[in-house]
Amino acid sequence: MDSVKPISIFLILVMSLFCIDPASCALVAFSGAGCKGYETWNWTAITHLSFWTAPPDSVRAVARQHGVRLFQDAHLPDKSTWTSSSSRKQFAQEKVQQVKTTKLDGVFFDYEGNHLSSDEKKGYTELAKEVTAALKPYNASLFVCVGGRPTYELRDYDYKGLSENSEFLFIMGYDMNFWDDYTCVTHQTCSPAEAPTKDIKAGIEQYLQDVSGDKLVLGLPWYGMNYEKVVGVLYQMNQIDYSDVLGVFDDDKISHKSYDDGSDTWIAECKNTCVDKSKGNVIWYDDAKSLTPKYKLARDHKLHGVGMWKADSLPTSASHSEECKDMWKAISLWDV
């Protein structure tokens, strides 16, 4: 017996470091239509695959093989119906049909509107409650997407109630440039980074004031933002996938690259235009190095898991296989 004890202790330590049981933590991957490059994804790490357009059968097969649960956008009704008990009940039954017809494991809410009245906020929570209750007999569930900070764009929903009536809240820790709670706009302190570390940390800590950590999942960007820099001022142009960021380097368009320690974000300045057929001469972006300390915030605050927007932003070419592996390593080892 003594000879096997060190091995047993080692296994316990390993299990404490990695998310072996999907019930104990989550890795939520979002994807666009078609799930481009899914063959290269780390399917053993993913627990939830989330999408708007139902994935092809080939993706479903791989997901089922690895025990990955499938979630589709719930297509929320107009907010004017949220305060109606009968409308909420009808919508909940429609979600049951969506799960059964599309062979899903659940749905997610992705409402990003502002200026909800107090009654509408209550109605949103009640809607989550009705949908969760309706899906439960079918072993399906609901999760809710929320902004990078509770007051993101002055939303301030009933996060406690939403978390209690869903599997978890998915913190969209991106699109944080310029638009946190408008405070940085008035103080002229906004960061051009999509996920500034200080804002991500502040968002987590603010959510934790009302929501238990085991009900929070931190999502981070697998993309960058293309800016047009004119006389020192940055003008936002468009998002650019991580694969396209690497393409800019491949095409030798970069004149200078630097790392912004304040936000843990890379800055790539282009010789001329960064992206063909688009304005923009500066890209702020994240990669495995910049994302690692941000994912560690989820570990440090004992959150339920992590995720990204979005998995199909990764490169699929063999020439960038190492960058692809590094991105999956950064997210899959978030709790180590």
Residues 6+ apart with CB under 8 A from 80: none
| pLDDT at position 187 | 80
Q: What is the mean pLDDT of residues 194-206?
A: 96
Above pLDDT 90, what percent of the chain?
87
C-alpha 295/C-alpha 305 separation (Å) is 9
pLDDT digits (tens, 9 = 90+) for 240-299: 999 999 999 999 999 999 999 999 999 999 999 999 988 999 999 999 999 999 999 999
The amino acid at residue 210 is D
The first and second tokens of residue 92, run together, are 């909940």
Helix 321-332 with 242-250: angle, nearest 10 deg: 150
The first and second tokens of residue 213, run together, are 């950590």
Strand partners for 70: 49
Q: Residue 98, Cα to own-chain centre: how many angstroms?
A: 23
Helices marked H in the chain: 5-17, 57-65, 85-102, 118-135, 159-164, 183-187, 197-207, 242-250, 288-300, 321-332
Domain 17-222+287-332, classified CATH 3.20.20.80, yes or no = yes
Helix 197-207 with 288-300: angle, nearest 10 deg: 20
C-alpha 214/C-alpha 25 separation (Å) is 8
The amino acid at residue 189 is T
pTM: 0.92
Q: Where are the domains of the chain?
A: 17-222+287-332, 223-285
1 — pLDDT class (breaks 50, 70, 90): very low
For 334, half-sphere exposure in the C-beta direction (CA atoms, 13 angstrom radius) is 33
Q: What is the rounded end-to-end Cα distance, in angstroms, of the chain?
A: 29
Q: Is the distance from CB of 191 to CB of 227 less than 8 angstroms?
A: no
* DSSP state at residue 188: T
Pairing mode of beta strands 106-109, 69-73 = parallel
Q: Is the distance from CB of 210 to CB of 268 less than 8 angstroms?
A: no
How long, in residues, is the chain? Answer: 336
pLDDT digits (tens, 9 = 90+) for 153-172: 999 999 999 999 999 999 99
Q: Is the distance from CB of 113 to CB of 157 less than 8 angstroms?
A: no
The first and second tokens of residue 98, run together, are 């969506």
Residue 141 has pLDDT above 90, yes or no: yes
| pLDDT at position 5 | 39
Angle CA 146–262–290, to nearest 5: 70
